Structure 1
Amino acid sequence: MNFKKHIIFTFSLCIVAVFFLNVSAQRESKKPKLVVGITVDQMRYDYLTRFSEKYSENGFKRLLSEGFSFENNYLNYIPTNTGPGHASIHTGTTPSVHGIINNFWYDRASDAANYCVYDASCQPVGSGNKLDISSPYQLLANTISDANRIQTNLKGKTISIALKDRAAVLSGGKKANAAYWFRGQELGHWISSSYYMEVLPAWVRAFNESPLVSSYMRTWEPLYPLETYTESDADENTYERGFRGKETATFPYDLKELASENNNFELLKATPFGNSLTFDFAAAALIGEKLGKGPATDFLLISLSSTDYIGHNFGVSSKEVEDAYLRLDKDLAEFLNRLDQHIGKGTYTLFLTSDHGASENAHFLHEQDIKAEYFKEASFKIEVKDAVFERYGSTEIIENISNDQIYLNKEWIAAANLDVATVEQQIKEYVLSVPFIKTAVTRTEINSNHLTGELEQLLANGMHPIRSGDIFYALEPRVVVYSEQGSDHGSGYDYDTHTPLLFYGFGIRQGATKTKSFTIDIVPTIAEILQIVPPETTTGSSLKEVIASPLNNR
């Protein structure tokens, strides 16, 4: 080969190499650098619309105008609570599969209550509190970030953050690099457990040592003039709990003054500053963990818990809830800007949803001439046991009643030569005779798939074959088991199941749809955008209409 031909041949090889490098780069660019999952605890769908006139253009409205909104998104199981919610969002399946049937549930083996993220094999990291021994050990399904970690050969990171340990742990799944939650009380630090690490990283220790947390112990007053909060009820009323040390549940709230009677830094959780602090910590994680800068897609999972604490305390129609969402909108706008600066606009995929909604306070509804009731659960348990004793001559047939479930003592039933299905049916018939109970189903009915109503199917989706009871009941609409102040959740009605679902960023079309979707559809949708296989237990379906071309043309 002469010199000229050698030069031409070498040049050609360079062109081919550049071509394949470009093709490889283009293929890589078909994946986002970072997936950001935001769960707003206790966010009803109507909070998007109720306060929309006061939202800025750069928070929720930015996601709505530049992203894609599923306006009829629902949870498809009962109970609608924090643990099941976060597990369902991130595994893409229901409690019947992932096993997180509630925040707490009765454990037959130990004959005691079990916390959904309790793990006695762990040690607290960053905290001396013996309660901080949490892990995803009890989660029986993999999350979307687990799938990403496994399929990128552990190159993609997962960092999960929330004020609540169960929210952080169940979002991050089994393969998370770290899950962090906030220990209030006297500490006021972000902490973790030995499941993830032996010591807190330097960036976390630096954050904890900074004066930022203490700076939020200030006065909570309305972001805007209180008289403009026309979407909520009067500031002073009889159905808000408020804080110890303050006679009325009314603005302003001097947190420094109230701290000593409200467990010190724990007080932050029940104010909008808890969400601000969570976003601050998430922004620190972006930098400290170099998220979005590695060879594979990373996950940053954020749960904003303060809206739940505030809702429980003050109620759906309170001015405190309205202020919390107006401040959240402002925090969201700032965080989106941080993502743009650190990751790059258009290079990250974000979804925002909620783990459940909330019901209106019954006293508030009474004032509006709407029927609502409080269900006396303690009395119900006594009545059921009395009825069982009258029929069977013993209460030992009942092992436990909790979480709207009745656990039967199968050994006692067998020893008495009774048929389990018959006993279930007989007790179910009594339960249906109790005022304020809408429906009930038995384990046998669920297993035989003999269900006709939507509410009954939601109960079935919440039943795990090992962890759940034997008879399941649902209360009438607007009937709650809660204190007479504040709001609660847990039912299968729209006010608890209808939640926002917004997608934004890389791979996402602009638009909205009224087509019904389910929270469990998030996981297969993100998997399709990432071009990975979703967790094998996923039961949701990919939301094709949200995925932008050319991804949806593959």
Structure 2
Amino acid sequence: MLRLLTVLIFLLPVVARAQAELPAPKLILYIVVDELNHEQLQHIQSKLSREGINRLSGQGMRFMAAYSSDLSAYPGTRLTSFYTGTTPSVHGLIGEQWFDKKLNKYVEAATNQPEGLELTLNYNQARSISDYLKSFYGPGAKSAAIGMNSSWLWHTLGYSPDHLFQFNIESGIFYDMINTQEPEWLTRFNDNLLRSDLLGRQWGPINDISSYSEFQYLAPSREKEFRSFLYNMKSGEGKAFERFSRSPYANTLIRDLAVSLLASSDFGKDNAPDVLTLGFTARPFVSNGSILAVEKEDMLIRLDRDISSLINFIDSEIGRDNYLVIFTSAAESSLDHSSAGKKGLTTGVVEYNKTAALLNLYIMATHGQGKWVLGMHDNSVYLNHQLIKEKGFSLKEMQEHAASFLLEVTGIERAIPTHDLIFQPETETLLAKNLYPTRSGDILLSLQSGWQSAVSKAGTRQTANSGNVPVPLIIRGWQVVPGAWFEPLEHHYITPLILKQMGIVHTSVLKAPRVSLLKTITTEKQ
């Protein structure tokens, strides 16, 4: 025993030295686009410049079959899975909101209100990539995010974030939601914003209107009638900069603030890797319901130019091989079917609030008066466990009773009671990956093809595609082997693979497929 202990003590400096010699990027940059899907990216790629997204793809690894197994369409769920390297069954962010059975109340997954920030960070039950880096490299490994008042950006930061710069759509400036002391560079940046006439700008097509996809799919007889567009940034009602925040100029501001952060601070400069997330948008303030409307395509073309100039700056400031850039999306983009179903077509909207009210009336007719249904959110239906217990009914039978009614609702394809799912030993099925017992609902819903839920206040829209959704994913820079990967890959495995390259063990790496993403590293024998 003493001999074994002596050997272990002798090896400790060797192991520590080997870990210290493992390379690490100075910066991990996440470019996250709200409402962009794989199909749209492929469709528009030929219209983009060589220096933006196409440069990332050409010089990096493009995952052609990356996908998310998350059932919720809430951006925070997808990003939490991606940043933690786990699934909702582990991290617990099952949707935009849920009924917490321990607290006996509904909770929001994220909020931009100061009093709820600590709760927001702690709803995630798994460590994020920035948490692993802080544990390994110390507090010098910083995490930050920049966005346009997007509450889901909180889920990218980990438990001990350093900065979250959000755009105030009332005042038109950026503020740090974590630090009350504003750095000088941010004060200068905001002063320049106040002097500029952001609301005086107009937004029209950057290219000839006939080059856009919406025009190209028109019948020749309708081409003369095709609309162009020219929008003012001043909002007719609501917050002063609300319209501006969903225009291409918002993305340019995010790029500019990122450049100011990197140029005016030590972010991405030392040997401890920092994590920076940029929350761009491809969700214009106006849409005709098309999956690639002219405004959306124009936003993406302009965003590509912003990405090009951003990459040029970071390549020069930090060095191409010294940082890692990861391009992906926050949420699926889908057609708006809010009126289609009313026309008798095979598409439409399932109104969750109305459906929950009808379900409650149905249960009342068979089981007596009471609020049997607490609500429907994301893909979950929540029943009143306390009332069911007081009335002496079986929870399992009540779930099955409610599910049988929901299967008759137009637009709902499946209604699956969760009672038996919670106790089954299988953990790798799609449903098992999305079950978190203290938060998941009593019934999981999937919608019929072409159907969707109404848009929530945070912009979440459940669709028939929820679960195993293709995700755009490109990784370029530090240690990346250029090429394309065509085999299916759950996107959350990227985090453990990156951490492994830095000598940090993530438990999910044991299940991760062998992907030729990063270069093989060898260390000299001591």
* TM-score range relative to shorter protein: 0.7 to 0.9
- Amino acid in structure 1 at the alignment position of 2:126: A
How many pairs does the alignment contain? 497
Q: Deviation of residue 312 (structure 1)?
A: 6.8
What is the aligned partner in structure 2 of residue 180 from structure 1? 165
Instruction: Assess if the C-alpha contact under 8 Å between 2:25 and 2:273 holds in 1.
Output: yes
Write the distance in 2 (CA, Å) between the matches of 1:359 and 1:405.
Answer: 20
Q: Does 1:530 align with 2:502?
A: yes
Note the 1:32-43 alignment, pairs <5 A: 32-43=25-36
Could you tell me which runs of 5 or more consecutive residues in structure 1 were left unpaired when the two chains were aligned: 1-23, 124-130, 236-247
Q: Does 1:412 align with 2:379?
A: no
Q: CA RMSD in A?
A: 3.4
Note the 1:456-475 alignment, pairs <5 A: 457-475=429-447
1:327 aligns with one of 302, 312, 333: 302
2:190 aligns with one of 197, 204, 208: 208
Q: Deviation of residue 75 (structure 1)?
A: 1.0
What is the aligned partner in structure 2 of residue 73 from structure 1? 66
Partner deviation per Cα, 1:408-428 (whole Å, 9 max, x = no partner): 222222222222112112211
Partner deviation per Cα, 1:80-127 (whole Å, 9 max, x = no partner): 22221222221112222222222233445666543222487x46xxxx
Write the distance in 2 (CA, Å) between the matches of 1:546 and 1:203.
Answer: 36
Instruction: Assess if the C-alpha contact under 8 Å between 2:100 and 2:438 holds in 1.
Output: no
Q: Does 1:223 align with 2:206?
A: yes
Write the distance in 1 (CA, Å) between the matches of 2:441 and 2:523.
Answer: 42
What is the aligned partner in structure 1 of residue 274 from structure 2? 298
Could you tell me which runs of 5 or more consecutive residues in structure 2 were left unpaired when the two chains were aligned: 1-16, 219-225
Q: Deviation of residue 537 (structure 1)?
A: 7.5
What is the aligned partner in structure 2 of residue 439 from structure 1? 414
Partner deviation per Cα, 1:325-384 (whole Å, 9 max, x = no partner): 101111111110011111011111111111221222338989xx9832222333322221
SS at the partner of 1:433? coil
What is the aligned partner in structure 2 of residue 189 from structure 1? 173
Write the distance in 2 (CA, Å) between the matches of 1:119 and 1:538.
Answer: 33
What is the aligned partner in structure 2 of residue 502 from structure 1? 474
SS at the partner of 1:36? strand
Partner deviation per Cα, 1:237-261 (whole Å, 9 max, x = no partner): xxxxxxxxxxx99511121xx3353
- Amino acid in structure 2 at the alignment position of 1:405: S
Note the 1:31-430 alignment, pairs <5 A: 31-107=24-100, 113-118=106-111, 122=114, 135-185=120-170, 187-193=171-177, 196-211=178-193, 214-217=196-199, 218-231=201-214, 251-255=229-233, 258-304=234-280, 306-310=281-285, 315-362=290-337, 371-430=346-405
Q: Deviation of residue 451 (structure 1)?
A: 8.5
**Alpha carbons of 1:222 and 1:358: their partners in 2 closer, same or farther (altered >3 Å)?**
same
SS at the partner of 1:280? helix
**Alpha carbons of 1:168 and 1:463: their partners in 2 closer, same or farther (altered >3 Å)?**
same
Q: Deviation of residue 191 (structure 1)?
A: 1.9
SS at the partner of 2:331? coil
SS at the partner of 1:515? coil
Write the distance in 1 (CA, Å) between the matches of 2:150 and 2:317.
Answer: 27
Greater alpha carbon shift after TM alignment, 294-303 vs 218-227: 294-303
- Amino acid in structure 2 at the alignment position of 1:95: P
Write the distance in 2 (CA, Å) between the matches of 1:313 and 1:138.
Answer: 36
- Amino acid in structure 2 at the alignment position of 1:190: F
Greater alpha carbon shift after TM alignment, 402-411 vs 416-425: 402-411
SS at the partner of 1:446? helix
**Alpha carbons of 1:95 and 1:355: their partners in 2 closer, same or farther (altered >3 Å)?**
same
**Alpha carbons of 1:413 and 1:259: their partners in 2 closer, same or farther (altered >3 Å)?**
closer
TM-score, normalised via structure 2 length: 0.85
Write the distance in 1 (CA, Å) between the matches of 2:22 and 2:512.
Answer: 25
Instruction: Assess if the C-alpha contact under 8 Å between 1:155 and 1:296 holds in 2.
Output: yes
